Amino acid sequence: MREFQPLVRNPHLLTIAGHFWPRSLDTVRFPVSSQLFETEPGVKVLVKTQRPPAHHRGRMVLVHGLESSADAGYMLSMAQAGLEAGYTVHRFQLRGCGDDQRLSSTMYHGGLTVDLLCFLRSLGEPAFLVGYSLGGNLALKLAGELGTGAAGLIAGVCAISTPIDLAACGRRLAERANWIYERRFVRKLARKLAASGLVPNADLSRRRSLWEFDDEFTARLWGFGTAGNYYATQSSNRFLGRISVPALLVQAKDDPIIPFEVFHHPALSANPNLELVAPDHGGHLGFISRQPPWFWNDEVVLDWVRQREQKALYTRHSLR
């Protein structure tokens, strides 16, 4: 694994660079097939699939973060890298995200794994699940929920810049230094909720913090009662000990949104299936290298996936 040499050391600049850095995805060599996948009555999610032209090495399912979409930059660069390596890549879009709000009668939340589970069951073979930020929380939580039954659906999990403790991350997000991120999230969520019609006549403009928004709307719409209970029950840290498939967590120590202390979780040392890679720098999804190849986290994911495949192949041959 190549050591991460950051473009800059300021975590906020890395976070912003990671968001705006241009990516390219070859849709000529790898045509995109967009599928509306029905996960339950009244709910459809968008999945964008691309396949390598020759040998199919396996599948990768990519899951984006809070208020993002299947076309997020980090999804595009990882898809390109996966396709070049011979994987069929599915970019999974959470319900109500992107331009597809009318496809679902409800919004997603940070622990809603039912849609992802439904899609994985349709694939017919285990896939590598790669989640970014909130998508990482979903991926880890789903693997933990499935426990020993995950192997038939999930070959491995990679979670990048993941808020495994939603309450701790909500408190960190509310700090003054992070106001630009929080305001952006809350505004986008408020616009989406207003367009959904789920809370008619509600005054959404007064909610300045994500915690306030989740307390008044997300928690109540989904029956959690309060934001505190929502965060406590839907955080993936509760499920880390139950994960029975290989799982890689990539987390920068200087992430401005996620306090690194949450990764001092006992499961990360007690569960042999978990591996943590924690560079000093990287911000939040800001793993842009000082020199090409730029997207360090894509390299890390592919290297790890190949190692898992080699180990699984060696184990199968040893058992014969």
pLDDT in tens, 10-45: 999 999 999 999 999 999 999 999 999 999 988 999
pLDDT(109) > 70: yes
Confidence of residue 196 (pLDDT cuts 50, 70, 90): confident
Architecture category of domain 11-165+235-319 in CATH: 3-Layer(aba) Sandwich (3.40)
What mean pLDDT comes out for the span 209-228? 95
Torsion of CA 253, 256, 258, 259, to 10 degrees: 60
Distances (CA, A) of 221 to 118, 227, 282: 22, 11, 34
DSSP, residue by residue, 82-104:
HHHTTEEEEEE--TT-TT-GGGB
Distances (CA, A) of 33 to 1, 27, 30, 250: 32, 10, 9, 29
pLDDT(317) > 70: no
The helix-helix angle for 296-319 and 73-84 (nearest 10°) equals 40
Judge whether 64 and 70 are in contact, CB under 8 Å. Answer: yes
Using a cut of 0.85, tell me whether the model's pTM lies above it: yes
pLDDT value, residue 99: 72
| Domain ranges across the chain | 11-165+235-319, 169-234
**Secondary structure of 239-278 in the HEC alphabet?**
CHHHCCCCEEEECCCCCCCCCHHHHCCCHHHHCCCEEEEC
